[in-house]
Chains A and B, each alone.
Chain A
Amino acid sequence: MVFSSLLFLFSFLPLTLIVYFISPRILKTTVLLLVSLVFYAWGEPVYIGLMIFSAVIDYFHGLFIHKYRMSKPLKAKLFLVSSLLINIGLLSFFKYADFLIENINLLIGTEWMPLELPLPIGISFYTFQTMSYSIDVYRGRLLPQKNPISFAMYVSFFPQLVAGPIVRYENMAEELNNKRRFNVAQFADGVKIFIIGLGKKVLLANNIGLLWSQIQSQDLNELTVMTAWLGIIAFAFQLYFDFSGYSDMAVGLGRMFGFNFPRNFYYPYISKSVTEFWRRWHITLGSWFRDYVYFPMGGSKKGKFITYRNLFMVWGLTGLWHGASWNFVLWGLYFGLIIAIEKAGWLKIIRKLHPIFQHGYLILCILIGWVLFVFEDYSVGLGYLKIMFGFSNNSLWDAAFLYHFYTNFILLLLVVVGSTPVMEKIPHSVKDKQKIAIKLVLPLCYLIILCLSTAYLVDESYNPFLYFRF
């Protein structure tokens, strides 16, 4: 089930809210666990066992790691390693097995059959969450969760289950252990963030995505230079609004139930360097790799060679995390390379340039990155880049480009503005006299976003079956 569906919005969510708020306080966590399991089972009736297995394993590992941490450090370490191996093993088996098989076949000429297992929903997220838990318990930063229901609820909590953010246990520990009190302001915040996320996903991402899919379906030979640029720009916005919209919905839902999840995106496209971009894009993933891979390997404190080795290690892994295909690794290393160059001094140079050049530089780097990201076959990606930069005989523009451009002009304006903090600032910048007007106008705006999102979702399922019924 996805949040941006009629089923979730008009059946699952209202029912969940009702059951949650009428059940006695002592049962609330159990209720959230149960609805989360229903939510997961809805799309993955078979893999639910896998998630429960993962939760049980990590629950016990957490307890044992804590138990031996002081008295028998070696034993604690063993339990930590076992926890990591199980999680990485699960993730590798389901996500990377076929990738590995294909490459081995290619390398040594074997003919192993790919397993073709469907990827369990959310496995990339919940394995990372539980690994951070085990490591943090080992490091003594956390006390393990003794209540198995609370722990299972942390692992399976439906808002962040499907597409993040990667919520660390420490972000939920306090709310899990203490009684969450209903707080009007917090719930309202949740509603606001959720509606904004819904609008980002349904109104902006899906529609600008339509432009990208139209352009992507064109034959590369017939693609014009301008259309190629428009296409990858559309994809950049689609990805941002899709992902950040989904994260917003997760954060919003978390608030409604009294949890404060970390923010996952902070206007990445306004960055002035790639280093800054990655501090604003998918923040919980970046900080996960920083805290659990980069720093433990010595970070940047053990000399230049180790620093850059660590950097490329982290970026290769980051790429691989996004998907089991070489183009994602390439994409990760591409950013690793740019960040290494920025670290080596380039950053100091561009800082002196006019902000326009800094933004231009960042956007260029990011767009090239998205070309690498989006084409699984990197030779197609390179062909696309050639067209963008004029190393092909494709024409500059055509009527189709003009059509795409003016019919998406308003949408493009909206996504550009939506990628900056302007909208967020407006309500704060009004004078006191106008505050009352804002109080009425804002809820109306949220209502309009809700209505329009519903309209677009209903239209998706509206399938006039006409063409072949002449």
Chain B
Amino acid sequence: MNKLLIAIFLSFIGGIGLWNVMAEDVSFSKQENRILSPLPTFTASNFFSGDYTKEFEEYISDQFVWKKFWTGMKAHTERVALKQENNGIYFGKNGYLLEEFEKPEEQFQSNLNSIHSFTNKAEDITSYLLLAPTSVEIYKEKLPLYAASYSEKEVIDLAKKQLSGTLSFIDVYNTLLSKKNEQIYFRTDHHWTMRGAFYAYEVAAKAMGLTPFGLDDFSIDMVSKDFYGTYYSKANLQDIKPDQIEVFQPKFDVTYTVQYENGERSNTLYNWDYLSEKDQYALFLSGNHSLVKIQSTIQNGRKLAVIKDSYAHAFIPFLANHYEEIHVLDLRYYHMNIHEYLKNNEIHEALFLYNVANFSKDTNLIWLQH
């Protein structure tokens, strides 16, 4: 037994060690959606500062072989041990992965203040705020037994109460709750689906003085059956079934010109290239951009600015059928003066669209206070 054990041990640490050396380095991890550490270069100064050794350790762990196998093994061990979560993602019922909504701290209030100071200053602008709940709120009953998640309704209602006087608050909560039997959220991702966005759009349209199109006006295509979202990447449970992605395309006649801040142009609201990538949700409006300008063939002169997180990406395609121009601004990347931007582009309507979990933590709304 001793010799067998020694052989196992030495070939395990030696074999994997050798494999790590032989395996080619990867610069970007799709699963983790981040750039992996490269092999650091040795200099006396970074050695004595301790940076070299730190970077080298990051390099070794980032480039470790069979990462998916190991993290999967950990996730499944956790589940066998009755753990109901992994890396902060709950293992919900019916294959749902859910993320706890934590009680908001000061950032939430300061974001409300930012919006308030924006509406105070922008008197000639009609502002709307839509705070979408996330899946954990709508599918509370799918949480593991006794698992905690703070009430998003309470937080949405608080925002509504504070800001109703200064802007028009679009409350989609009850509507989404009533449609929960449909696929309005992804099971494996933190976003809503385009169907969820559609029901929110029906509510929003009324608040914004638009006549919404109905379900019948769209042809609904299933464009993907193998979408594994961000929750999946964190939870690492490999037996979770993938999500499907629906896209609602108008049956009526309308075309768009989409212009991105990097000069790219397109005549569709979707970037189908992302269907072959890990993050398929990025097909909506081609993922994250600081500034996107959408012009449509609806010639009514109406212009709208959308200040948003990525929940807006599946939502904006519906609004694009009502506005001649939509300017989509992402405060995480767009740090210029918004008031000037609206003035220069003669925009008189602004929609803030965030999911409540992101809204209560996002530190970029401060850019509204130019």
Question: Taking beta carbons and an 8 Å cutoff, which residues of A are in contact with B?
Answer: 1, 5-7, 9-11, 13-15, 17, 42-43, 45-46, 184-185, 187-188, 191-192, 195, 399-400, 402-403, 406-411, 438-440, 442-443, 446-447, 450-452, 454-470
Contact = CB atoms under 8 A, between A and B. Distances in A.
Interface of B: 1-6, 8-10, 12-14, 16-18, 20, 31-34, 47-48, 50, 53, 56-58, 60-62, 64, 67, 70-71, 73-75, 77, 80-85, 87, 144-148, 190-191, 230, 233-234, 236, 288, 309-311, 332, 358
Contacts of A462: 32, 67, 71, 87, 236
Contacts of B75: 459
B82 A446 contact: no
B185 to A, nearest CB: 14
Contacts of A455: 70-71, 73-74, 77
Given A403-B146, A459-B71, A465-B32, A470 B310 contact: yes
Nearest to A9: B13
A416 B16 CA distance: 32
Nearest to A185: B2
B81 A410 contact: yes
B70 A454 contact: yes
21 contacts: A10-B13, A42-B53, A45-B50, A46-B48, A188-B2, A400-B148, A406-B146, A439-B1, A443-B1, A455-B73, A459-B71, A459-B74, A459-B87, A461-B61, A462-B71, A463-B32, A464-B31, A466-B32, A466-B233, A470-B190, A470-B191
Which secondary structure dominates where chain A touches chain B?
Answer: helix
B216 to A, nearest CB: 31
A6 B31 contact: no
A399 B148 contact: yes
A297 to B, nearest CB: 41
Contact of B64 (A6, A442, A463, A466): A6
B230 A466 contact: yes
Given A10-B13, A407-B83, A454-B70, A464 B146 contact: no
Nearest to B14: A14
Given A10-B20, A455-B74, A461-B64, 19 more contacts: A7-B61, A11-B20, A14-B17, A45-B53, A184-B6, A399-B148, A402-B145, A403-B145, A409-B82, A439-B4, A450-B8, A452-B74, A458-B67, A459-B87, A461-B58, A464-B230, A464-B234, A467-B190, A470-B309
B5 A442 contact: yes
A450 B15 CA distance: 13
Given A185-B2, A188-B2, A470-B358, A13 B13 contact: yes
Contacts of A184: 2-3, 6
B9 A191 contact: yes
Contacts of B64: 6, 458, 461
A403 B147 contact: yes
B332 A468 contact: yes
B143 to A, nearest CB: 10
B274 to A, nearest CB: 13
A187 B56 contact: no
A116 B311 CA distance: 46
A469 to B, nearest CB: 6
A470 B288 contact: yes
B148 A446 contact: no
Given A191-B6, A406-B145, A43 B53 contact: yes
Contacts of A454: 16, 70
Contacts of A7: 56-57, 60-61
A14 B5 CA distance: 15
A344 B76 CA distance: 53
A403 B82 CA distance: 10
A443 B5 contact: yes
B33 A465 contact: yes
Contacts of A15: 17
B5 A188 contact: yes
A43 B60 CA distance: 15
Contacts of B87: 459, 462, 464
A465 B1 contact: no
Contact of B82 (A13, A407, A463): A407
A42 B57 CA distance: 10
B5 A403 contact: no
Contacts of B85: 407
Contact of A45 (B14, B47, B230, B310): B47
Nearest to A2: B57
A49 to B, nearest CB: 11
